Homo-oligomer: A and B are copies of this chain.
Amino acid sequence: MASAKTEPGLQQAMTRRQITGFSNPTVKFVRSLRDKKHRRQERRFLAEGLRLLTDAREAGHVPELLLMARGREFHPLIEQLERDVARAGGEVVEMPADILAKITGKDNPQAVAGVYEEFDTGLARLDRASAPIWLVAQALRDPGNLGTMLRTGDAVGAGGLILIDDCADPFSVEAVRASMGAVFTQAIAQARWDEFIVWLRAGEGQLVAASLRDAVPYRGAPYAGPCFVLVGNESRGLPEDYEAQCDLRVTMPMRGRADSLNAAVAGAVLAYEILASLE
C-alpha cells in the first residue's frame, strides 16, 4: 500500500523504456497495427484508453506492450496495469503525449494503449453449451456494427460472436472501441458458411434469422437454446439459401417506409426477445 503513495514516475522509471521520437521502431510497429494486413502478419491488435485496458485486465487479458503518455497524472488503475504487465513479462514504454496521441488518434493526456495477442478464432474452441444465446453475423462490413454486436452479446449473456464469410475485422481499432471491452469477454469465431453449418449441425443448436420470407412473428416464436441469432450484411441482408437453412425465421414489425433495421440493432432486438423467452 505504501508504494501507491510514492510518485510512480520516480519509483518505476527504471522499468519503463523511454521513447522520444516518432520514427522509433516500436511507434512504427504499433501504428502499423491500425492496418489489417499488419495485424494478420503480427497476430497482434491495439486497444486504446484506460477504460478499455482496465476492462481487458478484469477479463484476464494483459497487454504484451503497454504504452503510456509521459507527464500524465497519477492514476491507480494505470499503476496496476503497469504492475500486471511487468509481472506477465510484458514491456512498458513511455513516450511524449503527442506521440501517443498520434498512435491512438486521441489527445487525452491520460491516454494509455496496449498491444494484445490476437485470440484463436476457430469454431472448434467454442463451447456451445456454455451459453443460451450466440450471435452470428454474415458479411457484416462495418466494424462499428461488429463491435456493437460484441457489446450486445456481453449484455445478453451470449457466449460469443461467430463471423461468417467476409466480415469486418473484430480486432480493428474501431471494432475494439465499439465493443467497449466485450472483445475481451465474448468468444469470437470466424468461419465460412459451409464450415459453420457443418459445425452447427454436429451438435445442438437452433439457427434463427430475422427474415421477411416465410417468417413467424419474432415475439412468442418457439426459440430453443442454444439459440444462434443470425444477421446478414448491412446492404444485402442474408443470402436466400442461407435463410432457407435456418431452423426458424422470424420477422419484426416494420411500421415505416423501410423494410429493415441496422444489422446490430436487429440482432439486439432479437437477442433480447430470445433472452426473455428462454428464461
Which A positions have Cβ atoms within 8 angstroms of B?
55, 58-59, 144, 148, 151-157, 178, 180-182, 185, 219, 252-258, 260-262, 264-265, 268-269, 272-273, 275-276
Contacts and interface: CB of A to CB of B under 8 A. Distances in A.
Contacts of A178: 262
Contacts of A252: 155, 272
A262 B151 contact: yes
Contact of A256 (B144, B148, B157, B272): B157
A148 B262 contact: yes
24 contacts: A55-B257, A55-B258, A151-B261, A151-B262, A152-B262, A152-B265, A154-B257, A154-B258, A155-B252, A155-B256, A155-B260, A155-B261, A157-B253, A180-B258, A181-B258, A182-B257, A182-B258, A185-B257, A219-B276, A262-B264, A265-B265, A265-B268, A268-B268, A269-B269
Contacts of A269: 268-269, 272
Nearest to A264: B265
A265 B182 CA distance: 15
Given A262-B148, A272-B269, A253 B219 contact: no
Contacts of A219: 276
A228 B156 CA distance: 24
A217 B169 CA distance: 35
A59 B151 contact: no
